[in-house]
A and B are shown apart, each in its own frame.
Chain A
Amino acid sequence: MHLHTSIPFQLHIYPTAQILYAYRAHGDSMLELVRTTLTYSDFLYQSVKRDINNKYRRSALGYVWSMLNPLLMMLILTLVFSTMMQRDVEHYPVFLFSAMLPWTFFSTTLQGSLRSISRNAKIFGQIPVPKYLFILSLTFSNLYSFAITLVPFIAITLLVGHPLSWTLLLTPLCLLPLLATTIGAALLAATLNVFFEDIEHLTTVLIRGLYFLCPIIYPASMLSEKTRIILEYNPLFALITLFRDVLYFGKLPSSYLLGITSLTSLVILSLGYLIFQRAERKMIYFV
């Protein structure tokens, strides 16, 4: 029975109620990892609830802000780009919004993850808890924001008269590779930022660059064949396309797209976790 399992050190409970701190060099198995996370489900729930309350309930306009923010952004971008894109894109606000949804989720989580470990140093300086919990909690609060933002998305779709397709219901499926990619990237960024303070600046620049390297404000078809092939190496390219297919074009994503996003997201998640996991023990010395 594992009552006190945490990632940095395993506490085995022996029949004699002896707990042995064995500092393990290698990681836990996937199953153990899931089990550990589940034992902290209450913490995750509490912490996500707190984040959401802080974000929405404690501000004067509450949820209206969460709708207003993307709507204003949408309005500005539409004003600037819709005439430019007129020939290539129909209903530009919906086109834009369908890509902004996954992008905002990814970029806010990645940005927020940078300081998530040092911010919680006081907690794990006293209680041995796996440090990835703070990144998970951040991811889930942003996931909540994603879900909330679907409301203004649907409103805009209806408002501009864009057909609302049943494929909208496939969003949860598309979220799986997005979640894996985001968590993997966040783990990697958070880990590196503990050891190298300038990773934060680097990531900010990277996020800004990625925004333009993904087909968010423009359709992929506008790119020249050569550029597109290069840009497709960016793992977010396929993810954005996936969401746009489902939310804007109203079509089933191709099996190629599903395959490539699943594969890259799993690679990114594993890589992020492996690096995080190797560094986790040392973090307490650096934060």
Chain B
Amino acid sequence: MNEEVAVSLDNVTIQYRSYKERPHSLKESVIKFIKTGQIFNHATFNAVENLSLRIKRGTSLGILGSNGAGKSTLLKVIAGVLPPSSGTITINGKLDCLIQLGAGFDSELNAVENIYLYSALRKRSVKEMKPRVRAILEFAELTEFATTPIKYYSSGMSARLGFAVAMDCNPDIFVVDEVLSVGDSRFRKKCERAFADILSGGKTIVMVSHDMNALKRICSEAVLLSAGTVAYRGTPEDAIKIYMDDGYKTRLSSLKAEANQ
């Protein structure tokens, strides 16, 4: 495979089962079986459909799209937590993601304990983390609250901690979902600076955001998702223009028609 490609998705489809139709309990399953003679026939829908995407090393790709377009599903596939129904994913390098800030944090524990727990989930030992804790706390601006259980933190504080811990992992590919919306503007600027550092180091960022200005500032490329497929790929400015356009829907169908030809 090409060394220059950081993330490669080939014909990836993610199929969800209809929540309404699937039996949720043993009782319902038995009833369904008696009624229909089947258990495993559900209506399905494809959150991501036959999607192929190559992301070059060193690019920062923004993913745009309205709610339900498959943005978060796509990120989860890239992050390796959602196995695709069909298709293959190849990741070239160490990947880390921030899909939900503070996922994996325990509210009873303090910042330092949480740093250890969170890192251990990423196979980083306490021994490895010990000398890094101070820098993480400093980046998160939480040094003086290091021994406070994070249930007493404000949402901004725990988000800062989550961001700082993830940044410390120093991944080659960084998958980010809507995390710039947290923190005050000063911290947001700090995050953006950190992103710029990542990018200048030849690393890759894949991010979802509804903050169009942030997308314009950070991303070198953008993908517009619609109904689980790539509707447009190009510069962030163009993608945003299409996305914000009043005639978005009509424009989309014409784009799709072009793509099909």
Contact = CB atoms under 8 A, between A and B. Distances in A.
Interface of A: 3-4, 8-9, 11, 16-21, 23, 39-40, 42-43, 45-47, 50, 53-54, 58, 122-129, 196-199, 202, 281, 284-285
Contact of B109 (A9, A50, A129, A284): A50
Interface string B58-91: 0000000000000000001001111110001111
Contacts of B82: 284
**Which of A23, A123, A124, A281 counts the most B-chain CB atoms under 10 A from its CB?**
A123
Given A23-B84, A40-B120, 19 more contacts: A9-B80, A16-B3, A21-B91, A39-B123, A42-B125, A43-B121, A43-B123, A46-B113, A50-B109, A122-B100, A125-B76, A125-B103, A126-B98, A126-B100, A127-B79, A196-B24, A197-B24, A199-B26, A284-B81
Interface of B: 1, 3, 16-17, 23-27, 29, 76, 79-84, 88-95, 97-100, 103-104, 106, 108-109, 113, 116-117, 120-126
A82 B98 CA distance: 59
A21 B92 contact: no
A9 B79 CA distance: 12
B81 A127 contact: yes
A281 B83 contact: yes
Contacts of A39: 123
A53 B106 CA distance: 12
A11 B117 CA distance: 22
B108 A50 contact: yes
Contact of B122 (A18, A127, A281): A127
B26 A196 contact: yes
Contact of B99 (A18, A126, A196): A126
Given A122-B100, A196-B26, A284-B82, A43 B120 contact: yes
Given A18-B92, A202-B26, A128 B80 contact: yes
B126 A197 contact: no
Contacts of B89: 21
B81 A124 contact: yes
B184 to A, nearest CB: 24
B79 A21 contact: no
A8 B83 contact: yes
B26 A126 contact: no
A197 B25 contact: yes
A196 B92 contact: no
**Which of B29, B81, B100, B103 counts the most A-chain CB atoms under 10 A from its CB?**
B81
A124 B122 CA distance: 11
Contacts of A47: 117, 120
A157 to B, nearest CB: 35
Nearest to B108: A54
24 contacts: A3-B123, A11-B80, A17-B92, A20-B90, A20-B91, A39-B123, A40-B120, A42-B124, A46-B126, A58-B108, A122-B104, A123-B103, A124-B81, A126-B98, A127-B79, A127-B81, A127-B121, A127-B122, A128-B79, A196-B25, A197-B25, A198-B26, A199-B26, A284-B81
Contacts of B80: 9, 11, 21, 128
**Which of A20, A40, A126, A198 counts the most B-chain CB atoms under 10 A from its CB?**
A126
Contacts of B93: 17, 19
Contacts of B16: 285
Nearest to A6: B80
A21 B88 contact: yes
B146 to A, nearest CB: 17
A285 B113 CA distance: 30
